[in-house]
Amino acid sequence: MSTVTRFAPSPTGELHIGGVRTALFNYAYAKKKNGKFLIRIEDTDLERSTKEYENNILQSLNSIGLIPDQDPINQSKRSELYLAAAKKLYEDGHAYYCNCSKERLDELRSSLQEQGKKPQYDSKCRELNLSKSNDTVLRLKTPLEGQTIVKDYVRGEIVFENSELDDLIILRSDGTPTYHLCNVVDDFEQGVTTVIRGEDHISNTPRQIHIQKALGYPELEYAHLPLVLGNDKKRLSKRHAATGLEEYQSKGYLNSAILNCLARLGWSKGDKEVFYLDDLIKDFELTEIQRAGAIFDQSKLDYLNSQHLANLSIDEFKIAITPFTKKLDIDIDTHQHLELLINSMRSSAHTLSGIATNLVPYFKDIDSYDQKALEKFVAPAPTILSYIHDALNKIENWNEEVLDNEMNIIKEELNLKVPQINQPVRIALTGSTNSPSLGTTMYLFGREETLIRIKALIESL
RNA sequence: GUCCCGUUCGUCUAGAGGCCUAGGACACCGGGUUUUCAUCCCGGCAACAGGGGUUCGACUCCCCUACGGGAUGCCA
């Protein structure tokens, strides 16, 4: 049987990186098995679900390349299916109507808890043969004894005593189906074979297995992933800074780097740290997933991003950085030595937005100089710049070698140390002391612009 | 409370009883290259939660404790 996995988010918030990782593992496993990866929107909670969040989730998954093999489905549009399943359960004697009031349930729970027992429904209505009415819920007849064993790829076999589980509600008193029913029915209807989801669902699993069995559905395979945590070791949530996928994308982290980073959270293959989606698909095994929760570390993402950035071809890099340079109102295609510029600057920051910012001086006039640098390198000897300007002005053959050579000559003539003559020029050209090697930098600016900028700095003093 | 899951350097992880003097990566610290910054290279720091077993031998197996997480909803 061909493998089918699914990512089943509920649209009650933006897609965060923990969700992306769950989707990623679902995707990778399906692809590895030559199966299908599906998306299901679990929007049965009308109160909290919104179309905006749904769109955000779908768009995010699409933008990062985790494309489903079929159009996503919405649970909110499939009630007939759930109702039909509920009806079958009732007719087959696997479910019963219950009219216990909320008050009774609350009392029951608290009194059981006082006795040190597990708070659960006492199955009062189980044999009463109640019929459906306005205030009845439909409950599943959970097996009273025996065990339910969840076979999990990452944790092995997890055993639950059936006596620990009560008769769960599958249809609310307003007639709408609950999560567990929808989940089980859809997994069956969609042909899902393998459930890969967060470990917060482990204790839900035996309940779902009971529904499956009652409905006569085949068994599923499970893999419960450890959770992605914030710095405080707490489960990632809105309280943590920067959890949304879009935030990372808009800061200029490459999709491939984000995916790489997320995949390494809970999974590894030998000493391989830098890899791509294709590698993951090839190497991935559910049994290799780590069992403990993992803290998301941004400095690791920074590193991985640098590596992925370095691996981009010039054309790929151009395409990747363009949205960021556009935002800063610069058009890198206008540069006369674009390839050299990119290769000189691509490692200047960890993110595309950082690199784009560093690129600005190469396209726009300097509107402010680094004051500290000015004080340190220019203020002590302001006349050096004029000397350099005049010397460079005589150079016709404007290339890196000649320029480096000339700077060396100037250094000898003035009997100065390298930083004393190099740094003022850097400041004149880029506004700061940071730039590629000086010959390259002057070459990148060209003869005319280099001279203009040196002059401009002299005049601004 | 009860049930379930988990616990190796600051972080992500390797580790399937002797290969472990516990390996790699990020971060950090130091050095080199770059006549600046970044990159890159080299080196260093740093962990088996605690206690009992089992065993000739335990990071690895068992039990207990502690700590963290989840479930215990007419949320998903």
Q: What local confidence, expressed as pLDDT, does residue A72 receive?
A: 97
Residues 402-431 of chain A in contact with strand B via CB under 7 angstroms: 404, 407-408, 411, 418-419, 422-423, 426
Nucleotides of B under 7 A from a protein CB: 1-8, 10-14, 23-28, 34-40, 68-76
Residues 285-304 of chain A in contact with strand B via CB under 7 angstroms: 288, 290-295, 297, 299-300, 302-303
Residues 351-380 of chain A in contact with strand B via CB under 7 angstroms: none
pLDDT one-digit tens code per residue, A123-149:
888 888 888 888 899 999 999 989 999
Nucleotide nearest residue A295, measured CA to C1': B11
Contact A208, A160 (CB under 8 A): no
How does strand A73-74 pair with strand A147-152?
Answer: unpaired
pLDDT one-digit tens code per residue, A294-337:
999 999 999 999 999 999 999 999 999 999 999 999 999 999 99
| Residues shown for chain A | 461
> So what's the architecture of A78-225 in CATH?
3-Layer(aba) Sandwich (3.40)
What is the distance between the alpha carbons of residues A167 and A175, in angstroms, rounded to a whole number? 17
Residues 35-64 of chain A in contact with strand B via CB under 7 angstroms: 42, 44-45, 48
What is the distance between the alpha carbons of residues A197 and A199, in angstroms, rounded to a whole number? 7
pLDDT of A450 > 90? The answer is yes
Mean pLDDT of chain A: 93
Q: What is the CATH number of domain A371-460?
A: 1.10.10.350
Separation between the CA of A444 and the C1’ of B33 (whole angstroms): 23
Q: A220-235 burial, b for 16+ CB within 10 Å, e for fewer?
A: bbbbbbbbbbbeeeee
CATH 1.10.10.350 range(s) for chain A read 371-460
Cα–Cα nearest to A158, from A166, A168, A148, A167: A148
Contact A325, A331 (CB under 8 A): yes
pLDDT one-digit tens code per residue, A364-392:
999 889 998 998 898 888 889 999 999 99
Q: How far is CA A430 from CA A39, A170, A345, A360, in A?
A: 48, 66, 12, 9
Separation between the CA of A285 and the C1’ of B24 (whole angstroms): 20
Separation between the CA of A31 and the C1’ of B73 (whole angstroms): 36
Separation between the CA of A153 and the C1’ of B14 (whole angstroms): 19
Give the ipTM of the model, two decimals please: 0.94
Separation between the CA of A249 and the C1’ of B59 (whole angstroms): 39
- Report how far apart the first and last C-alpha atoms of chain A are (Å, whole number): 77
Model confidence at A241, pLDDT cuts 50, 70, 90, reads: low
CATH 3.40.50.620 range(s) for chain A read 78-225
Cα–Cα nearest to A401, from A448, A445, A438, A450: A438
pLDDT of A58 > 80? The answer is yes
Separation between the CA of A93 and the C1’ of B1 (whole angstroms): 33
How does strand A147-152 pair with strand A156-161?
Answer: antiparallel
Separation between the CA of A235 and the C1’ of B5 (whole angstroms): 14
How does strand A294-295 pair with strand A228-229?
Answer: parallel
Separation between the CA of A358 and the C1’ of B30 (whole angstroms): 29
Amino acid whose CA is nearest the C1' of B15: A270
Residues 6+ apart with CB under 8 A from A64: A20, A245, A249, A255, A258, A259
What is the distance between the alpha carbons of residues A244 and A354, in angstroms, rounded to a whole number? 19
pLDDT one-digit tens code per residue, A38-47:
999 999 888 8
Separation between the CA of A400 and the C1’ of B43 (whole angstroms): 34
